[in-house]
Structure 1
Amino acid sequence: MNIDDLVKGIAAGERRALARGITLVESSREDHRAQATALLAALPKEREALRIGLSGTPGVGKSTFIESFGMMLIAQGLRVAVLAIDPSSSRSGGSILGDKTRMDLLSREKDAFIRPSPSQTHLGGVARRTREAVALCEAAGFDVVLIETVGVGQSETVVAEMSDVFLLLLAPAGGDELQGVKRGIMEMADIIVVNKADGDLKPAASRTCADYAGALRLLRKRPQDPDGFPKAMMVSALQESGLSETWGEVQALTDWRRANGFWARARAAQARYWFEQTVKHTLLAQLEAPKAKAALSELSDLVAQGAIDPTKAAQDFVAQLER
């Protein structure tokens, strides 16, 4: 693969080149990892997209919301990329990757790019290489990158480490105030969006929105938030109501953070976080080397036989790696 040609294609906004680039950075092959590192280093760094993370429980309507939200942004002249993370089976390792088929209208737009990726059992709601995929979308000139998490519950906070604004989607009657003050994902959310606020569910959506608005007032104020944030809002992705208001709040929040220096500080902190995570993954990758696997297998057998204490065996194994 010619990295220079790939960089030129991505910089020119070619969707085919972008798709090939994401496939390359997601590959675990050793030769591909070296090429991916070269690709990321050669990308233009001056382009910057607004990164919006989205999470929510399965069935809350994330795909419908993203399609309606994305179509609204494109109508305003913006280019939109969607990185949808699909859960991988812990048994077979496979993923359905069906998110693109649920965004039929958005997938036809020339100013949209939708890429489903398997989580590969990576925890935190995103895939291990999602951050690199975001960088590629930025280099391709997209104005907004929407990062849709797997959607498994309150522990999906890793997406907040790669996004500028974090939206949490909830369904009507999704919990009371006590549910709302739970730690974890609630503390990371910038805007809580109560979806499906239409038809018979609208009164329930109104109550849920009020409950969460009250719960958010009980949380400690964050320095990176202006007055009124985080906040709860009602949206009907099906009827396309509340979308422009949500976008307006996202813009108001990002404008304030830029003006007060929090945007640049958050980007710097995220870069530090992903550097440390990459170091950890690189060290863990050493365990897959043949020599390390042989030593690990031998010590595991000794531990199983009771011939050596697990703690002592672990110390011996680490000592062998350091030699």
Structure 2
Amino acid sequence: MKQVVQGRLVARAGSLLTGGMVDSSSSPSDTLRDAILAGERAALARAITLAESRRADHREQAQALIQQLLPHTGRAIRVGITGVPGVGKSTTIDALGSHLTAAGHKVAVLAVDPSSSRTGGSILGDKTRMARLAVDPNAYIRPSPSSGTLGGVAAKTRETMLLCEAAGFDVILVETVGVGQSETAVADLTDFFLVLMLPNAGDELQGIKKGIIELADMIAVNKADGDGAMAARAAAAQYKAALHILAPASPLWSTPVVTISGLTGLGLDKLWARIEDHRTRFEAKGLIAEKRRRQDVKWMWAMVQDRLQARLRHDPALKARTPELEAAVAAGKLPPTSAADEIARALGL
């Protein structure tokens, strides 16, 4: 039933780009483009549904649309937010986003839900965890299943980000599944990487992935309200000490450590001021544009990998042969290297 409903949604999105509900004075793609540029949320949702579709024709339509919209993208502040489960990412984003919309910003939240490795499904409950933003006319929340994508970033998060920027959102917040080495993927599509931490650093400090800390543009110790205030300050001091042994990624920026409360909003104004300061410094030196160019190259290779995986999923000969190869490897009748070589030859590699 879930697949049927998703299929109908994608078909509906595709119909608007291929002939449905279009006046005779403009092409279907122009109509959807103009609706997105006008900030129509329904049109934005339809375009994102197209981009997330695995159908080749929908993917082509989405890419053509994004190409048309590219001149209207790139102006937003892109912030990736990560942290261990239970650190309060959704609560913090709800409070931070509400603070920003009150200040006149338009905020898009791309919240990536973990997909089940067994069923492929996900709960997509982010709107229930961000109650204020869910009803804010200047905010847009798009939950997406991670679908096993490296770093917990949905396969089409980049395209979704561009579509939101074209629709007029000037702040893009990308919430990722959780901390891990693969979370470096979020740093490859945002301008600023914020890592949320819990108080009572102690043993947790020992388990921090060095790579995540090296990528962090800021560390924010959450839950610094009430009885947790003292523990949060102690944890912040430990994180600051840990950062002293790491060389800064840029001479323009030393990673700050702040204490906040997503529940009460404590410290969120100072947190955002730091993010704006980072953007001002790096934009003045042309480093934001340079970083995005590097990200675009990585995006290109990610799409190449996506095409290869799509070929594995849809090529009739490979679909028929792959289960046989897997069974032979599992039974110990065929070395994994030989099976990989056969698949590579079938792909023309």
Instruction: Establish whether TM, by shorter chain, passes 0.5.
Output: yes
- The corresponding residue for 1:231 is 256
Sort the Cα spacing of 1:180 and 1:252 in 2 relative to 1 into closer, same or farther, 3 A: farther
CA, structure 1 residues 322+19, in 2 after alignment: closer, same or farther (shift >3 Å)? same
What residue is the counterpart of 2:174 in the other structure?
147
* Conservation of the 8 A alpha-carbon contact between 1:177 and 1:212: no
> Which residue is 2:24 aligned to?
none
Provide the residue aligned with 1:103 in structure 2: 130
- Of residues 66, 90, 93 in structure 2, which corresponds to 1:63? 90
CA distance in 2, matches of 1:95, 1:297: 26
Letter of the aligned partner of 1:319 in structure 2? R
User: TM-score scaled to structure 2, two decimals?
Assistant: 0.86
| Paired residues for 1:129-208 under 5 Å | 129-175=156-202, 179=206, 182-208=209-235
Counterpart in the other structure of 2:279: 254
Residue 45 (1) aligns with residue 99 (2): no
Offset at residue 295 of structure 1 (A)? 3.2
Shift in Å at residue 9 of structure 1?
1.1
Shift of 1:178: 5.2
Give the drift of 1:313. Answer: 3.6
Amino acid at match of 2:40: E
Q: 2:292 aligns with which of 255, 259, 267?
A: 267
2:321 is matched with: 295
Aligned-partner Cα distance in 1 for 2:209–2:325? 42
TM-superposition CA deviations, 1:44-96 (whole Å, max 9, x none): 42432100000011111111111111111111111111111111111222111
C-alpha displacement at 1:305, in angstroms?
6.4
Give the drift of 1:176.
5.8
Counterpart CA distance in 2 for 1:217 and 1:277 is 34
In 1, the alpha carbon distance for the partners of 2:110 and 2:332 equals 48
- The answer on 1:278 being equivalent to 2:303 is yes
Deviations 1:258-281 (A, max 9, x none): 112211110000000000111111
Give 1:76-95 correspondences, 5 Å limit.
Answer: 76-95=103-122
Distance of 2:94 and 2:332 partners within structure 1: 57
Letter in 1 for 2:299: W
User: Offset of 1:30 from its aligned partner?
Assistant: 2.3
| Mapping 1:20-35, distance limit 5 Å | 20-35=46-61
Partner SS for 2:298: helix
Give unpaired runs (5+ residues) of structure 1: none
Aligned counterparts of 2:227 and 2:96: Cα–Cα separation in 1: 22
Greater CA deviation, 111-120 or 148-157?
Answer: 148-157
Do residues 240 (structure 1) and 268 (structure 2) align? no
In 1, distance between residues paired with 2:327 and 2:198? 50
Report the 3-state secondary structure (helix = DSSP H, G, I; strand = E; otherwise coil) of the residue aligned with 1:241: coil
Q: Shift in Å at residue 189 of structure 1?
A: 0.8
Aligned residues: 321
Cα 1:65–1:320 shift into 2, 3 Å: closer
Provide the secondary structure at the position in 1 that maps to 2:80.
Answer: strand
SS in 1 for 2:118: coil
Question: Identity of paired residues, percent?
Answer: 50
The answer as to whether partners of 2:222 and 2:262 remain within 8 angstroms in 1 is yes
Match of 2:155 among 98, 117, 128: 128
TM-superposed deviation, 1:284: 2.1
Q: What is residue 321 of structure 1 aligned with on the other side?
A: 347
* 2:101 maps to amino acid: I
Residues in 2 aligned to 1:73 and 1:125: alpha-carbon distance in whole angstroms = 25
- Structure 1 counterpart of 2:26: none
> TM-score, length-normalised on structure 1?
0.93
- Name 2:338's counterpart in structure 1: 312
Residues 214 and 249, structure 2, Cα contact 8 Å, conserved in 1: no
CA shift at 1:297, angstroms? 3.7
**Residue type of the alignment partner of 1:201:** G
Q: CA deviation at 1:179?
A: 2.8
- Unaligned ranges ≥5, structure 2: 1-14, 18-28
| Contact 1:82/1:145, CA 8 A, preserved across alignment | yes
Cα distance in 2 for partners of 1:15, 1:320 equals 43
CA contact (8 A) 1:78 1:111 kept: yes
